[in-house]
Amino acid sequence: MDSEDLFGEDKPSASSELSPNAPLAARMRPRTLDEVVGQAHLLGEGKLLRRTLQADRLVSAIFYGPPGCGKTTLARLISRLSNAHFVAVNAVTSNVAELRKAIEDARRRASKQRTVLFVDEIHRFNKAQQDVLMPDVENGTIILVGATTHNPSFSVNGPLLSRSLLFELRPLEEADLIKLLKRAIADPERGYGHLKIRADEDALRHLVGMASGDARRALNSLEVAVLTTPKNEAGVIVIDLGAAEESCQRKVVYYDHDEDYHYDTISAFIKSVRGSDPDAAVYWLAKMLYAGEDPRFIVRRLLILASEDIGNADPQALVLASAGMHAVEFVGMPEAQIILGQLVTYLASCPKSNASYMAIGNALEDVKKEPAQEVPQHLRDTHYKGAARLGHGEGYLYPHDYPGNVVKQSYMPQSKQYYFPTENGFEKKFHDLLNRLRPQKPAK
């Protein structure tokens, strides 16, 4: 599919490319770099992407970011600013035959003009389809521009990724989105400048807040507000907070359930609990639950954390996490969010220790790398006929026969310390007890 098919003729006015009935978000696409809002880390003065586009020195690139952050917009700008022939395909509907045709056309054109091949949703191409692009990206026959909402490190072939610049686009800030909405209201050519509209600041902030950094969603909500709000007696469309709330009744949180945003959010959640910040932890919990995350996945991670990061500093943490797991399974959503809220705030507020986690990790390392230690004769099993004749159990000292139920004897041939209890919370008792029981090491 050529750029003319997808974007129309390269004319100075976007309004001449699109029907007046096209969605507002399509009509308001930036026509120049200066009209782009946000992404200052890529498009600010002196930044790499701006310099590349202005100098017409584009190399293969992957644009990565959430919906509505400007990936396709940048592709459209490339079609305007680059002197290259522009071809666009969508990985959802395209196939290898279409790719081969585009590449063959690029080869015929190579002596006269470069070709930019824009692949939207490039993560939808499988490995074989991506491999088709490799030779011609490498020899410069095509300049590949891919767009994806998925982390390219996982969704784009390594060799293809290594031959492309990676540009991560970020969700738009509130100020950027408000600027975009005000531009749409004032623009007489592409927006609603031909109408009398008064949009309250709190209404705009609501539309922006519900968009979660997505320019397309913010403009769609504004469009609904304008088209569904009747004019007052003075012929003015007044978009107040009530009209804004009706125009976007439920906030949509972008959250993939098996890829980057999913893992980034659960990572922030676990690190907040580990870092003893119950406020941050409960926020990330709320975001996951709102987006429809499986509560069983969340509580499984909390079970691990209760041992890994709290351990014996508060032994009740594992008990409560286990109880929470069963309660969540039994009660189900939405009430299970109450149980998760209690569990998360408790675990985040607990004293922390990873001493048990480190102990088993270090012991496993020794088991894997060092010669295996044999069980000493006095610790071997004696509960079968003939054990005594083999000397099993001989010399074993039964701790309960001694004061304090403790007796000094060897429990492993080569003594080594793995568990180093902290002085945090309940674990301080273990710290003090083991300091008394363990042989004192000479001062260094």
The amino acid occupying position 292 is G
**For 200-241, what is each residue's pLDDT tens digit?**
999 999 899 888 888 998 999 999 999 999 999 999 999 998
What pLDDT, on a 0 to 100 scale, did the predictor assign at position 432? Answer: 87
Q: Are 70 and 38 in contact (CB under 8 A)?
A: yes
Q: Tens place of pLDDT for every residue, the chain, 444 residues?
A: 443 333 333 333 333 456 677 899 989 988 888 888 889 899 888 888 888 888 877 788 999 988 888 888 888 787 777 778 888 888 988 888 889 999 999 998 888 888 889 999 898 898 888 988 998 888 888 889 999 988 888 888 888 888 888 999 988 999 999 999 999 999 999 999 999 999 999 999 989 988 888 899 899 999 999 999 999 999 999 999 888 888 876 655 655 555 567 788 899 999 999 999 999 999 999 988 888 788 889 999 999 999 999 999 999 999 999 999 999 988 888 889 999 999 999 999 999 999 999 999 989 998 888 888 888 888 888 888 777 778 788 888 888 988 888 888 888 888 888 899 999 999 899 898 888 888 654 433
Per DSSP, 231 falls in state: B
The partner residues of 239 in beta bridges, in order of sequence, read: 199
**Cβ atoms 137, 160 nearer than 8 A:** yes
In Å, how far are 151, 271, 322, 365, 366 from 275, measured between CA atoms? 26, 6, 21, 27, 29
> Six-digit token pair at 432?
């003090």
Percent of the chain past pLDDT 90, that is, above it, reads 36
The third-level CATH classification (topology) of the domain covering 260-349 is: Zinc Finger, Delta Prime; domain 3 (1.20.272)
For the chain, what is the largest distance between any 2 Cα atoms, rounded to a whole number of angstroms?
107
DSSP 14: G
- Domain range summary for the chain, segments of one domain joined by +: 3-168, 174-247, 260-349, 375-437
**d(C-alpha 93, C-alpha 18), whole Å:** 22
Structure tokens at 149: 């909402």
Task: Categorise residue 248: left if φ over 0, alpha if ψ from -120 to 50, beta otherwise.
Answer: beta
280 contacts 272 by C-beta, under 8 angstroms: yes
Chosen CATH of 3-168 out of 3.40.50.300, 1.20.1250.20, 1.10.357.10, 3.90.1150.10? 3.40.50.300
The whole-number pLDDT of residue 17 equals 55
3-state secondary structure of 148: strand
The residue among 279, 267, 259 whose CA lies nearest residue 305 is 267
* Closest to 68 (Cα-Cα) out of 180, 206, 225: 180
Burial class (CB in 10 A: 0-12, 13-18, 19+), 137: buried
Provide the 10 A C-beta neighbour count for residue 383: 7
Q: Smallest Cα–Cα separation from 7: which of 94, 103, 79?
A: 79
Give residue 418's identity as a one-letter amino acid code.
Y
Residue 437 zone, left/alpha/beta (φ > 0; ψ -120 to 50; rest)? alpha
Backbone angles phi, psi at 48, to 5 degrees: -60, -45
Residue 408 tokens, joined: 């000094």
* pLDDT of the residue at 351: 95
Is residue 62 within 8 Å of 146, Cβ to Cβ? Answer: yes
d(CA 71, CA 90): 13
Residues pairing with 146 in the sheet: 62, 119
Residue type, 436: R
Q: Looking at domain 174-247, which of 2.40.160.10, 1.10.150.120, 1.10.630.10, 1.10.8.60 is its CATH number?
A: 1.10.8.60
Give, in degrees to the nearest 5, the angle at Cα 17 between 12 and 18.
Answer: 135
pLDDT at residue 52 in the model:
83
DSSP helix/strand/coil, 233 = coil
Residue 327's closest CA among 343, 349, 310? 343
Q: 2-28 pLDDT, tens per residue?
A: 433 333 333 333 334 566 778 999 899
* Residue pair 223/187 in contact by the 8 Å Cβ criterion: no
Residue 384 per-residue DSSP state: S
What does the H/E/C string look like for 318-329?
HHHHHHHHHHHH
pTM, rounded to two decimals:
0.58
Tokens representing 394 are: 């001989």
